[in-house]
Amino acid sequence: MQKTVAVLGGGIGGLSACYHLSKSPQVSKVVLLEGSGRCGGWLSSTRREDGAVFEQGPRAVRPAGAVGKNTLNMVSELGLESEVLPVTYDHVASKNRYLYVGGQLHKMPSSLG
């Protein structure tokens, strides 16, 4: 018997749930219910005309173990590899803030002083 499934919330978790549910042979329909005017939850990227990307929400995904592998597989299946900038946990970029402009990271000052 095919089922309709409702997912509450269009944040990264809700969107991921919708994606995986849509691949299930037991689910015929997935309905996403989002209370705001946009999907993404805490994620909120703005891309300017000059290519600069500003992220107002979380900036990192730290995939580890089986769940991390599922996340990376989903990124690949959705064709989003070019949108991911791999950074190791001990890399300086994981501890600082940057602007991504012109295909390069530019370090931001840690204070205005």
* Per-residue pLDDT, 53: 78
The predicted model scores a pTM of 0.72
What is each CA distance from 8 to 24, 31, 32, 72, 87, in whole angstroms? 18, 9, 6, 23, 31
Q: What is the C-alpha separation between 100 and 108, in angstroms, rounded?
A: 10
Q: What is the C-alpha separation between 11 and 112, in angstroms, rounded?
A: 32
Note down pLDDT in tens along the chain; length 113 residues: 889 999 999 998 999 999 999 999 999 999 999 999 999 898 888 888 988 878 787 767 778 899 889 989 999 999 999 888 888 878 877 777 777 778 888 888 877 76
Please count the other Cβ atoms lying within 10 Å of the Cβ belonging to residue 15: 19
Q: What is the C-alpha separation between 5 and 35, in angstroms, rounded?
A: 17
* Per-residue pLDDT, 3: 96
